[in-house]
Every structure is written in C-alpha cells, then in structure tokens.
Amino acid sequence: MDLAFHQIAKDIKIMISQATLFALSLFPYLGFLWFISRSTQMPRLALYGFYCTLVFVAATIPAGIYAQVHYGESLANVDWLHGSAETFLTLSNILVVLGFRQAVIQRKANALSPADQDVSSQK
C-alpha cells in the first residue's frame, strides 16, 4: 500500500511539472495570436485555424486528466481519448492550410495585370 501511495505521489508531481510547463507555453502562443490577429495580411481562415489550436488545448487538458484518473494512463495511451482530442488539432491544421492556400491563389490571381489577362485570353 505504501509503495502505491508513493507511486501516485510521484505521478502527481510529474503531472504538476508538466502542467506548469504547459501553462507557461501558452503565453508565447497567446502573444503570437495577438500579433497575427492584428495583421492585415493574415488570411482569416488561417487565423481561425490558429485559434482552433486553443480548442485543441482546451479539449486535451480534461481528456488527459480523465485518462490519468480513470485509466491510470497518460492520454497518449488511451486511444479513444487521444484520437478524440487530436481531431481538434487536425481540424486546426486543415483550416491553416486552406487559409494559406486561399491566400496564395488570391495573390496569384491579383498578380495578373489586365494586360496579361488580355494577352492570355487572345490565345
């Protein structure tokens, strides 16, 4: 019994240090979001994707706690929880890619001058 108590105490200590590092890592990311949200060149869809990463974080925290409390495992070892949380990361990545893709296509379309469009339409 005493050995099990020490193992749980050790696991909690590791979780606290990981949680502290995790919380501290949010501040630079929030700064990044603050700066890019003020940029006029940032594609809106990509910006929504970067904000969706916060949804991923918000879903991962309770999922990790649930995995530890109910299964005694880290989130990475509980497939159905891990996959569910990763869905939000996948969604955010898709939004970022589609946003920048849309911006590239729009920039290429705007780069064609009216004279270039007239020449290409005559061919």
pLDDT in tens, 54-72: 999 888 888 988 898 999 9
Q: Where are the alpha helices (DSSP H) in the chain?
A: 2-37, 44-66, 79-111, 114-122
* pLDDT of amino acid 26: 86
Ranges of residues in the chain whose predicted pLDDT is under 70 = 1-19, 113-123
* pLDDT of amino acid 93: 97
109-121 pLDDT tens trace: 988 856 555 555 5
Closest CA to 35 of 22, 24, 50: 50
Closest CA to 60 of 19, 104, 2, 1: 19
* pLDDT of amino acid 52: 95
Distance of alpha carbon 84 from alpha carbon 86, whole angstroms = 5
* pLDDT of amino acid 18: 64
* pLDDT of amino acid 3: 62
Letter string b/e over residues 28-55, b meaning 16 or more CB atoms within 10 A of that residue's CB: eeeeeeeeeeeeeebbebbbebbebbee
